Structure 1
Amino acid sequence: MTDTLTTLLQRLDEPAARYAENERYYNGTQPLAFLAPESREALGDRFGRMASNIPRLAITSLTERLRVTGFAGVEVWDDWLRNDLDQTSTIAHREALLLGASYAIVWADHLGRPKVTIESAKQVTVLTDPGSREVIAALKRWETATTTEAVLYGRDEIVRLRAEQTGATTAGFKVIETLANPLGMVPVVRLTNSDRLLDEGVSEIEDLKPLVDALNKTLTDMLTTSEYVGRPRRWATGIELEEDEEGKAINPIPEGNRAMVSENPDSKFGQLDSANLGGYEAAVRILLGQIMAVSALPSHYIGQLTATPPSADALRAAEASLTARAQARQQVFGRAWEQVARLIVAVRDGADPHRVEPRIVWADPATRSIGQEADAIVKLFSSGLLPADYALQRLGYGDDEITAIRQARRTAAVDAAAIDLSKLVN
């Protein structure tokens, strides 16, 4: 156990710097890149921070298209709702898209019911078998006010550990409690944001970082230019200059003065041409084009609007690449959520999780109006190609909503037939 614990603790600390950098980009607090010392000196304290937060937009636009609506093959939707996974699953997707991975831990609560918690990759890590790629061990570590707590998850047992200090890394942990694991598999599921076999998970904003840095630098240069030469600079000749105690010339006409007056009849006044900021606009458009190519964000998501508003069909066509990317993430995350469903059934019913075969159901990631979607589904239903329950799933209704709709339809049918149920009782 000691070697496994040490390995997991080291794996947990390895990506800490990368996680911190990704979070800074997501929050828009990353330092400015490519900023020349002259520009920094010119800005001084008049310009605190410049960040066009494209990374948050890229992650949010994908997350909002990843919505689980049900499961087929197993009855787990009530447990799903009881654990608030209809809401927290979105957090898991966002964490995985940002950090490269997120986790779900499935165990039993004090009443013996399945309990599912969403975990951050900053606190949880796993070891996988290189042959089967099955999780063989997992660790969660967190801090309290005075201690560092950890839980080591194995196939046969679960061990709780504690270090009597904060900030403990690989040393000082002692076993507090050991529990048997009747599931026969590690109850920790990893959601990995990757489309390759051997990746440990990659952030969705990894390719965006240099482009966002270049965009922020261009915007900073534009504001610096606007500050100094965007307004026409004024000049005056024939005015006597005064000096301060250190021998430096004092401007007789402060910058804030709207009127310039001189008693010298030979004085002349004028202004220089203002700077043309059009070159910065062209540079920003080029960078936004690269950002759109890398992130699959359509132009109307990042504010590049045309004089003529696009039609609904044009908007859907522009979002086709983003929709395809969301569908790819559904396939990647779907296997993890199906594993969560297996563990829920195993905890609840005592079944072998290897024999449970759930199938996840996702909401359509494409952007459509309710009228368009309903019209297409009604045509398929009317032609007999789709049953009623499946048509409701295609419309985005969850299992609980479909059950409520069926009950309401039965009640309405009984009321419409005006049947007095009391007469049917002998």
Structure 2
Amino acid sequence: MTDLDTLGRILQRIDERAAVYSTLTRYYDGAQPLTFLSPESRLALNNRLSAVSVNIPRLLVDTIGERLRVTGLSRPDTWEDWRRNGLDTQHRVAHREALLLGDSFVVVWARPDGSPLVTVESATQVAVTTDPATREVSSAIKRWGAEDGTHVVWFEPDRITRWHSPARGAATTGYRKVETIANPLGVVPVVWLRNGDRLVQTGVSEMQDVLSLTDCLTKLHVDLMTASEYAARPRRWASGVELVEDADGNVTNPFPEGDRMMVTEAAEARFGQLAGADLAGYEAAIGVIMRSISAVTGLPEHLLGIGGDNPTSADAIRASEAALTARAEARQGTFGQAWQHVAQLMTAVRHGVDPASVDVTVQWADPSTRSAAQEADAVVKLFAAGLLPASYALRRLGYTADEVDAIRADRSRDAVANLDLSRVVAQ
């Protein structure tokens, strides 16, 4: 099999999930179709309710993503490269992409000056192949469109190859090799952030379990709007009133709904009002679906706007978010291994060493909800008991490695200033 044949086979991995990614993106953007809306309802609403978004999928992805925050690396030099590449914000973009689409990728290479260059990539442009024995990435490919056609970069452990097609939107054919450069790292410089805990080849979107429930929820909201338009408003009626026909023989309503008062000379006329429809049943049905979403996702009821009053205390909030916190901690473990590999590649690029020889760990912020007073009280007690050093205690409070260094430097300056002041006073 030629390189071009292998290239086309790997490029198919990008295209085979394009429809799935498109659907997931539409749900995240709140632009999904009204799946359960009947043609009769569309006609009754005169197509005025063609789009309704109850965006639970976005809420789920963003809520978990907010709890996945890398606060530092065990190697200060690697943390500096992390910041120079904007990963202090871009790593959260990678998490959101992985939670949304199931996969995201990070490419590590070198700038002309020898410093690491790190970019976060979308699963809509990147695909990887893995070793069936070790499940490690054995090759990767990135494809993107430009004004001059379609570009492809093929990453392998020993070489990086660039391909180009003059056709815009080229899929798997029509490419020619542009250049090949050696890969001194000895490993594929593409790291795969896979969302999921099962031994599968691709990740799973965090929204997968709530897509059909979101459709049900949207349908109930549409029904609620339809009933509110045509049945909830009380309707008036009149009997014993002579109907009037126009010149074409069409019967006209002698009492249009716009009139505030109905008047007739007919003695036998009677007037009344029909009771408006009770919409409480829709509220109850929406509550059932919301609680199902809460059970499936771990989102607490106060985040979904159900369950009555908000939790009465910080402890109550923390308890209600236990399932969500456990879910975020599981993602920290999965994504943490990927970010550790990114840090190893960055260090290898910087110092010219084997990535496997680099010892570096990733530090995460606490994913649980805790008030500042609670967190400070717990950390201070552990520090006072001698169980935590000062630098680690500061990181537990959510300070980044740079902020910890700044705090320690300021404390040192204050200590020197206080010492000089005490000497002056003593003299």
Q: Which band: TM-score by shorter chain?
A: over 0.9
1:283 aligns with 2:280: no
SS in 2 for 1:75: helix
The CA distance in 1 between the partners of 2:310 and 2:318, in whole Å, is 16
Residue identity opposite 1:123 in structure 2: Q
1:80 to 79, 82, 92: 82
Cross-structure match for 1:269: 271
Cα pair 1:74 1:357 within 8 Å, conserved: no
Q: Give the root-mean-square deviation of aligned CA atoms.
A: 1.7
Moved more, 92-101 or 107-116: 107-116
Deviation at 1:267, TM superposition (A): 2.3
1:387 aligns with 2:389: yes
1:24 aligns with 2:43: no
Deviation at 1:342, TM superposition (A): 0.7
Cross-structure match for 2:218: 216
The CA distance in 1 between the partners of 2:314 and 2:411, in whole Å, is 33
Deviation at 1:243, TM superposition (A): 4.0
1:151 to 141, 153, 169: 153
Percent of aligned positions with the same letter in both sequences?
53
Cα pair 1:158 1:181 within 8 Å, conserved: yes
Deviation at 1:2, TM superposition (A): 2.0
Cross-structure match for 1:298: 300
2:112 to 110, 113, 121: 110
Cross-structure match for 1:424: none
1:165 aligns with 2:151: no
Deviation at 1:36, TM superposition (A): 2.0
The CA distance in 2 between the partners of 1:243 and 1:76, in whole Å, is 86
Change (3 A) 1:218 1:74: same
Residue identity opposite 1:283 in structure 2: A
The CA distance in 2 between the partners of 1:250 and 1:17, in whole Å, is 52
The CA distance in 2 between the partners of 1:26 and 1:252, in whole Å, is 50
The CA distance in 2 between the partners of 1:408 and 1:349, in whole Å, is 31
Cα pair 2:311 2:317 within 8 Å, conserved: no
The CA distance in 2 between the partners of 1:355 and 1:337, in whole Å, is 16
The CA distance in 1 between the partners of 2:153 and 2:364, in whole Å, is 32
The CA distance in 2 between the partners of 1:28 and 1:161, in whole Å, is 36
The CA distance in 1 between the partners of 2:31 and 2:249, in whole Å, is 42
Cα pair 1:77 1:400 within 8 Å, conserved: no
Cα pair 2:34 2:50 within 8 Å, conserved: no
Cross-structure match for 1:352: 354
Cα pair 2:42 2:49 within 8 Å, conserved: no
Deviation at 1:3, TM superposition (A): 3.0
Residue identity opposite 2:146 in structure 1: T
Residue identity opposite 1:33 in structure 2: T
Cross-structure match for 1:411: 413
SS in 2 for 1:207: helix
Cross-structure match for 1:35: 37
Residue identity opposite 1:342 in structure 2: Q
The CA distance in 2 between the partners of 1:418 and 1:277, in whole Å, is 75
SS in 2 for 1:418: helix
Change (3 A) 1:201 1:252: same
Deviation at 1:305, TM superposition (A): 4.6
Cα pair 2:108 2:342 within 8 Å, conserved: yes
1:52 to 51, 54, 58: 54
Q: Deviations over 1:64-105 (max 9, x none)?
A: 000001112563110011111010100000000000000000
Cross-structure match for 2:197: 195
Report runs of 4+ in structure 1 exceeding 6 Å deviation: none
How many residues are paired up?
421
Deviation at 1:244, TM superposition (A): 5.2
Unaligned runs of 5+ in 1: 422-426
Cα pair 1:66 1:363 within 8 Å, conserved: yes
Residue identity opposite 2:205 in structure 1: S
Deviation at 1:118, TM superposition (A): 0.4
Deviation at 1:291, TM superposition (A): 0.3
SS in 1 for 2:391: helix
1:372 to 371, 374, 387: 374
Deviation at 1:27, TM superposition (A): 0.8
The CA distance in 1 between the partners of 2:7 and 2:50, in whole Å, is 44
TM-score, normalisation: structure 2: 0.95
Deviation at 1:237, TM superposition (A): 1.9
The CA distance in 2 between the partners of 1:239 and 1:168, in whole Å, is 72
Deviation at 1:107, TM superposition (A): 0.5
Q: Deviations over 1:221-264 (max 9, x none)?
A: 11101110101111112333344566443323223332223343
SS in 2 for 1:262: coil
SS in 1 for 2:363: strand
TM-score, normalisation: structure 1: 0.95
Cα pair 2:68 2:365 within 8 Å, conserved: yes
Change (3 A) 1:139 1:132: same
The CA distance in 1 between the partners of 2:332 and 2:97, in whole Å, is 15
2:128 to 120, 126, 129: 126
1:98 to 97, 100, 112: 100
Change (3 A) 1:415 1:163: same
The CA distance in 2 between the partners of 1:251 and 1:110, in whole Å, is 81
The CA distance in 2 between the partners of 1:244 and 1:109, in whole Å, is 82
Deviation at 1:309, TM superposition (A): 5.0
Change (3 A) 1:13 1:263: same
1:313 to 296, 312, 315: 315
Change (3 A) 1:158 1:309: closer
Cα pair 1:211 1:291 within 8 Å, conserved: yes
SS in 1 for 2:191: strand
Cα pair 1:105 1:116 within 8 Å, conserved: yes
Cα pair 1:104 1:189 within 8 Å, conserved: yes
Residue identity opposite 2:188 in structure 1: V
